[in-house]
Structure 1
Amino acid sequence: MAAGGFCKLPNGSVVVALNLPSPAPVGGTSEVRVLVLAQNRARALTRLRNLGMRAVYLRGNAAPPTPDEITAVLHHPDGLIWRTAPDNGVTVTELWHPIRALLRRSAAA
């Protein structure tokens, strides 16, 4: 099961964070961390499913987004970003990418 969680913002919207298997190997890791900004959790998951990630579910709140992740997704125009998932709590220095970059990699693979 993929680790994930959510955080409700003061304006009523929700940031959902999920660790998902990478559609194409990225930098030697098999997981990516995806952040979605939406009006509620159901709409956040629907946004991912509409992009072709059909088996995406959020069960529990084991890995909620950090304040830095929330800031990153709030400042992105699409409200949907990703980067490689950290392994064993190691800090990732990689920048966030728009979801289009991940979908292009999987189409090329």
Structure 2
Amino acid sequence: MAAGGFCKLPNGTVVVALNLPSPVGPEGSLRFLVHAPNRARALTRLRNLGLRAVYLRGNAAPPTPDEITAVLHHPDGLIWRTAPVTGVPGGPERVQELWHPVRALLRGPTAQT
């Protein structure tokens, strides 16, 4: 199940956060952050990358202030990382993984020579 949410910024733009199943493997999910002029454009940016079934229903998991800062400081305005595990006693685990540009996901694993 995909969770997501958005936050409208003072300048009128939005940051959309979505937890989606990993497109490169059956295990786990990824948290995508998109900075765009509006919610529709944010979802269109993800759909244009091949993530076709992307919808935002409700505002159950809006971006945190740290996530907003991360996406605003990225030149592409579109980043991802492994989503925190939910449903674990004691709350979600803290993810220490850094944010990645979406190009890293689309490129896939690099070959080692």
Scaled by the length of structure 1, what TM-score is found? 0.91
Whole-Å Cα distance in 1 between the matches of residues 52 and 24 of structure 2? 16
Whole-Å Cα distance in 2 between the matches of residues 25 and 78 of structure 1? 24
Unaligned runs of 5+ in 1: none
Aligned to 2:4: 4
| The structure with more radius of gyration | 2
Three-state SS of the structure 2 residue aligned to 1:23 is: coil
1:96 aligns with 2:99: yes
Whole-Å Cα distance in 2 between the matches of residues 67 and 48 of structure 1? 21
Whole-Å Cα distance in 1 between the matches of residues 9 and 28 of structure 2? 30
Superposition RMSD on alpha carbons, in Å?
1.7
Whole-Å Cα distance in 1 between the matches of residues 62 and 13 of structure 2? 15
Q: Which has the higher contact order (CA 8 A, sep 6+)?
A: 1
The structure in which a higher percent of residues are helix is 1
Aligned to 1:42: 40
- Percent identity over the alignment? 80
Q: Deviations over 1:59-101 (max 9, x none)?
A: 0000000000000000000000000000021110000000011
The structure in which a higher percent of residues are strand is 1
Scaled by the length of structure 2, what TM-score is found? 0.88
1:69 aligns with 2:72: no
Aligned to 2:56: 58
Runs of 4 or more off by more than 6 Å in structure 1? none
